[in-house]
Amino acid sequence: MIRLANAVFTISTILVFGQFFVPDHVVAQTRVMVHVIDGDSGVPIENTNVIMLRTDVIRRTDRHGIASIFLSDTAKVAISHVSFRDTTILLTPSVTSVYVTLYPRELPAVAIYAGEPFNKKAAKGVNRISLPVLTAVPSFLGEPDILKGLTFLPGVSEGREGYSHLFVRGGDQDQNQMLLDGATLFNVNHFGGFISMFHPEMIDGVDFYKNYWPSRFGGRLSSVLDIKTKEGNYKEHHQSFQFGLIAPKFNISGPLIRNKLSYQIGMRRTLADLITEPIAKKIRNGNQIGDIGSLLSQDMTLRLDGRLGIKQHLALSALLGRDKYAFLERKPPYNQLMEDWYRIKNDLLTLNYSRQLGMGTTLNAHASYSAYRHAYADYSYSHDGMMDSGSEGSLMETASMLGNGVTSMKFNVHGKTQIDAAWEWNYGIESERLDFSIYKRRQATRIDGVMHNSNEALQMNAVMNTAVASDISYTPDRRFHVNTGIRLSTYAFEGYQALLAEPKILLTYVADEKSTVNAAFNFQRQSTMLLGFIDDIGRFREFYIANDGNSPIASSKQWSIGYFRNAIGMLDNISLELFYKDMSDVVKFVPSIDFESDVLDYADFLHSNGHMRAYGLEVFIQKTLGKWHGSLSYTYAHSKSRFPTLNESRWFNSDFDFRNSLNALAMYSFGRGYRLAGSWTYKTGRPFTLPTSRVAIEDWRTGFLLINDLNNRRMPAFHRLDMNIERRWTKASGNKKWFAVGVYNIYNRVNPFFARPSETPGQLEVVGMFPIMPFFNFGFEL
């Protein structure tokens, strides 16, 4: 930790003294803090353009609605945001702080799906995703999901049908850092991955990084997804309700103390269990023969915001997610009962405090607790006269469970200082404790009283990550911009310690007002590991664990270059990006047929010192303004792996090598609040492994299967068309109403959930999951 502090002190000294090397006329300017607020709700407006009309210099407000500008004389300043009415103010150097109120722009027939100018995003390396786009994408049974909306960006794939996992630029799903109000998340899916736990109405913004991200983020190899919940309304109470096929939901917001304390609450809950659970209860009690599946999914998101003063803000947010699934089957003639069940539990609590110190400095303090638990179990009860004891009417009852838990406790302080018009410094320190557990329990009981119990557990407690981070942003002129930084962290578990450095740099050149080119290098480290596999019925099973020091900590080097342009004819945005990613010391978990026992003994089935390479091309075309909205994204990404102990140390296609991906989205707004939307998705089938030969063994009917090459086959290609039409309108009272109807998988494509060899040699039997399905939803505000 002393070495880390010395390193940060050195960087800080360079930055502070660096301000003396900027031009004199820049240093002599006066700083003015511009605060922008929504006039209807009192909520700060992020990403507002603050434009110096004389010089065309643009600053954008941060998440607290604050932008720092520099004046040497009286100047006109324009304040603009795509969703609000523009205004112009006159500022003088004698003013150090000004508050500007904007009011929403009425756009009944014209939809806007973009925020800041597209080419300007390259200066930050961030994709700031428009929530109207994320929620307008036709979704599974009409339930918007921000994670599935992200898959319409180039370089991002959802992986397997139904799952909300993200695979970014040839990386695995665990290589993405997911944060909700700064707290660490691991598995964010409800059961089966149909939808994620993020309630769309509770989300204020989604920042997605895939080529360069600030040094305050770290510990993952592929991307960062920074999700922020929405502040409550400080002036009026609002309630909204929505009903659909998956789950009804409601959202309430308003002031507890007007202009000082606000709340926001969102809840969802499936209703299928109200019908299926009574049937399941009869099967359990032996009153009914048959089978039934029962599912309960629910989540609640809460946020409280307090304005402690003009320059202080405190926010408390929480997320509670629960899933319970059970499949029961009671068979004649021996009264046999079999039950499989699955549980997921997510708890999250965050506290964020921000304070503006003046002199262009803002400090943010964060504390969070996050806990993830899941467990698979199966239970069987048989009344069978054919048991080994030979006694008629003997009874056997067995129960087994395999589970995983991860707990995170995190504390950090980050700051930003706008030193002058050319220099900005971001810095911070963070400490996170992680606790991991994997456990297996089994119990077997016979009617004669013989009982067999076994409990096994693997614990990794007090895994510590402590880090300091520093970033410099330098803009010497209107065309050239440099972002560079480093994150230094120590990883410690029991007697093992490692010092991890994560340097990075982003260079941006603005060719003209509509064109930007950037080049980035990012070096990342990751200490968590995923024990992931597909079980015998095609379900993806995932268990998280930390590096125990027996293998090196994984690293990733990524180079990328991109071209971004606004307004080419009918098109508003176009981008072209190339990337190359080189990952070292990655691991791969390959269990045997007894995969549940292998998870506990993972060290015997974990292949380490792996090497992965991914490279690709990303193209994105978008129309964002007017009645027609459309986007087309194409990704070519080739990901391959090599392990010393697998495939005779030869390269093979990675599990998530989807190669070609194409996403098309079109929306048309017409009439009084109507919108027709359609989306089409295509991606190359993912690789998987099939036995290549069979060795006959005497008295063994199936023989012994041999595998010569890993991932030697590909699933059939995935493609699907979804459409919906919705209407939103405002009543005379000012409250809104809406309804939507649509169809998922219109042409009833059997997309592979998993595949296995068919009875016909050389052919695959493809098992799908979701056929064509109509859906609807409707909602209203009170």
pLDDT tens for 751-767 read: 887 777 777 776 778 88
Question: What value does the mean pLDDT take over residues 21-37?
Answer: 64
Nearest partner of 300 among 190, 197, 147, 226, judged by Cα = 197
**Lowest-pLDDT choice from 13-22, 66-75, 184-193, 393-402:** 13-22
Measured CA angle at 167 (ends 163, 171), to 5 deg: 145
Cβ neighbours of residue 309 closer than 8 Å, sequence gap 6 or more: none
Banded pLDDT at 390 (limits 50, 70, 90): very low
User: For residue 333, is the peptide bond before it cis, meaning its omega torsion is within 30 degrees of 0?
Assistant: yes
Looking at residue 135, its pLDDT comes to 67
Looking at residue 106, its pLDDT comes to 56
Looking at residue 110, its pLDDT comes to 37
Task: Write out the two tokens for 387.
Answer: 């048991």
Reply yes or no on whether the pLDDT at 21 is more than 60: no
Cβ neighbours of residue 281 closer than 8 Å, sequence gap 6 or more: none
Looking at residue 386, its pLDDT comes to 42
Looking at residue 695, its pLDDT comes to 62
Alpha carbon 647 to chain centroid, angstroms: 32
Reply yes or no on whether the pLDDT at 108 is more than 70: no
Looking at residue 566, its pLDDT comes to 82
Looking at residue 725, its pLDDT comes to 92
Q: Are 637 and 615 in contact (CB under 8 A)?
A: yes
Superfamily of domain 23-102: Immunoglobulins (2.60.40.10)
Task: Write out the two tokens for 367.
Answer: 């504390």
At residue 5, the 3 state secondary structure works out as: helix
Q: What one-letter code names the amino acid at 553? A: I
Banded pLDDT at 127 (limits 50, 70, 90): confident
Looking at residue 2, its pLDDT comes to 45
Looking at residue 334, its pLDDT comes to 63
Q: Are 197 and 321 in contact (CB under 8 A)?
A: yes
What is the C-alpha separation between 644 and 642, in angstroms, rounded? 7
Banded pLDDT at 25 (limits 50, 70, 90): very low
Looking at residue 506, its pLDDT comes to 95
What is the C-alpha separation between 490 and 527, in angstroms, rounded? 11
Reply yes or no on whether the pLDDT at 262 is more than 90: yes
Cα dihedral 152→154→155→156 (10° resolution): -10
Task: Write out the two tokens for 416.
Answer: 């930003």
CA atoms within 13 A on the CB side of 775: 27
Cα dihedral 591→592→597→601 (10° resolution): -50
Provide the whole-model pTM.
0.87
Banded pLDDT at 232 (limits 50, 70, 90): very high
Q: Which residue(s) pair with 152 in the sheet?
A: none
What HEC string does 484-513 produce? EEEEEEEEEECCEEEEEEEEEEEEEEEEEC
The Cα-based distances of 364 to 186, 361, 412, 429, 548 in angstroms read: 23, 10, 8, 11, 32
Looking at residue 755, its pLDDT comes to 77
**Lowest-pLDDT choice from 46-60, 360-374, 395-409, 630-644:** 46-60
What is the C-alpha separation between 269 and 692, in angstroms, rounded? 46
Reply yes or no on whether the pLDDT at 353 is more than 90: yes
The 8-class DSSP code of residue 236 comes to -
Burial of 620 (0-12, 13-18, 19+ CB in 10 A): buried
Q: What is the mean pLDDT of the chain?
A: 84
Q: Are 545 and 531 in contact (CB under 8 A)?
A: yes
Phi, psi of 68 (to 5 degrees): -110, 120
Q: What one-letter code names the amino acid at 736? A: K
Q: Is 333 left (phi over 0), alpha (psi -120 to 50) or beta?
A: alpha
The Cα-based distances of 501 to 14, 91, 425, 470, 526 in angstroms read: 19, 44, 19, 12, 11
Question: What value does the mean pLDDT take over residues 189-204?
Answer: 80
Question: What value does the mean pLDDT take over residues 575-598?
Answer: 90
What is the C-alpha separation between 736 and 704, in angstroms, rounded? 64
The 8-class DSSP code of residue 106 comes to P
Looking at residue 267, its pLDDT comes to 94
The 8-class DSSP code of residue 194 comes to S
pLDDT tens for 466-517 read: 999 999 999 888 889 999 999 999 999 998 999 999 999 999 998 887 889 9
Looking at residue 473, its pLDDT comes to 92
Q: CATH number of 110-781: 2.60.120.10, 2.40.170.20, 3.40.47.10, 2.40.50.90?
A: 2.40.170.20
Looking at residue 22, its pLDDT comes to 40
**Lowest-pLDDT choice from 412-416, 565-569, 725-729:** 565-569
Q: Are 121 and 564 in contact (CB under 8 A)?
A: yes
Phi, psi of 526 (to 5 degrees): -145, 125
Question: What value does the mean pLDDT take over residues 30-53?
Answer: 83
Cβ atoms within 10 A of the Cβ of 371, count? 16
Question: What value does the mean pLDDT take over residues 427-434?
Answer: 97
What is the C-alpha separation between 679 and 682, in angstroms, rounded? 10
What is the C-alpha separation between 203 and 713, in angstroms, rounded? 40
pLDDT above 90 coverage of the chain, percent: 38
Looking at residue 701, its pLDDT comes to 55
Looking at residue 393, its pLDDT comes to 45
What is the C-alpha separation between 773 and 113, in angstroms, rounded? 27
Reply yes or no on whether the pLDDT at 160 is more than 80: no
Nearest partner of 578 among 625, 519, 524, 632, judged by Cα = 519
Reply yes or no on whether the pLDDT at 221 is more than 80: yes
**Lowest-pLDDT choice from 161-165, 241-245, 532-536, 617-621:** 161-165
Q: Which of 101-105, 458-462, 762-766 has the highest mean pLDDT?
A: 458-462
Question: What value does the mean pLDDT take over residues 723-737?
Answer: 87
pLDDT above 70 coverage of the chain, percent: 86
What is the C-alpha separation between 470 and 415, in angstroms, rounded? 10
Looking at per-residue pLDDT, the higher value among 532 and 315 belongs to: 315
What is the C-alpha separation between 67 and 98, in angstroms, rounded? 10
Looking at per-residue pLDDT, the higher value among 406 and 533 belongs to: 406
Reply yes or no on whether the pLDDT at 138 is more than 80: no
The residue extents of the domains of the chain are: 23-102, 110-781
Banded pLDDT at 14 (limits 50, 70, 90): very low
Q: Which residue(s) pair with 699 in the sheet?
A: none
Looking at residue 288, its pLDDT comes to 83
Phi, psi of 259 (to 5 degrees): 65, 5
Looking at residue 426, its pLDDT comes to 95
What is the C-alpha separation between 226 and 125, in angstroms, rounded? 13
**Lowest-pLDDT choice from 17-21, 332-336, 359-363, 776-780:** 17-21
Nearest partner of 49 among 41, 58, 57, 39, judged by Cα = 58
What HEC string does 340-363 produce? EEEEEEEEEEEEEEEEEEECCEEE
Measured CA angle at 523 (ends 519, 526), to 5 deg: 145
What is the C-alpha separation between 6 and 309, in angstroms, rounded? 35
End-to-end CA distance of the chain: 54
Question: What value does the mean pLDDT take over residues 232-240?
Answer: 91
Looking at residue 697, its pLDDT comes to 62
What secondary structure does DSSP assign to 656-720, as a single string? T--EEEEEEEEEEEETTTEEEEEEEEEEPPPEE----EEEEETTEEEEEEE--STT-EEPPPEEE
Task: Write out the two tokens for 466.
Answer: 């402590």
